[in-house]
Amino acid sequence: MNSNAKPILATEIPPRTKKSVYPEPFARRMQGRTKSQLGNHYGIQKFGVNLTQLIPQAESALLHKHSLQEEFIYVISGHPTLYQGNQKTELSPGMCVGFTPDGEAHKIVNLTNQPVTYLEIGDREIGDLVEYPEDDLVAKMNADGNWSFTHKDGTPY
């Protein structure tokens, strides 16, 4: 972590080593995703800022919807597909989209044969619950800032 506000290229911040916080079998679905935690590099704790890259056919996350957290995406390069509810929208460089708790479940998938790079920003609301409509998974942001995961029936992973 860098306590100085020294400007550097975002690409100089190494990707996080753990590909996903999801439990198995879901974590392996994120193998084509790389995140560099830009905000963490500077000690930012109230919100996350990630430079995210998806190789061809990779997905950003499981289809999900937060109860408290707000998210924002800005596409830097490539043409990812946004899945939002029952709709698919192709995004292009310079496009952005935001998600609030009253919105639809969403995820981004790279359906192209070129890499995709985007910036994602989201707050870190303690007590946030995440629903995954297509998967047997529920996530909760704990008081320590870490996620815990259960099956939809409450059984822990």
Q: Half-sphere exposure (CA, 13 Å, Cβ side) for 131?
A: 10
Distances (CA, A) of 3 to 11, 36, 47, 60: 18, 17, 16, 29
pTM score of the predicted model = 0.92
Instruction: Tell me what pLDDT residue 3 has.
Output: 54
Low-confidence ranges of the chain (pLDDT < 50): 2
Give 35's Cβ-side CA count (13 Å radius).
Answer: 20
How far is the C-alpha of 98 from the C-alpha of 117, rounded, in Å? 16
Q: What is the pLDDT of residue 5?
A: 83
Neighbours of 9 (CB within 10 A): 6
- Residue 96, classified by CB atoms within 10 Å of its CB into exposed (0-12), middle (13-18) or buried (19+), is exposed
**For residue 45, which of 125, 100, 106 has the smallest C-alpha distance?**
125
CATH number of 14-150: 2.60.120.10
| 70 contact partners, CB below 8 Å, separation of at least 6 | 98, 99, 100, 101, 122, 123
Q: Domain coordinates of the chain in residue numbers?
A: 14-150
Place of tokens 């995440």: 130
**Tokens of residue 1, six digits:** 């972590």
Rounded CA separation 128/109 (Å): 24
Residue 103 is predicted with a pLDDT of 94
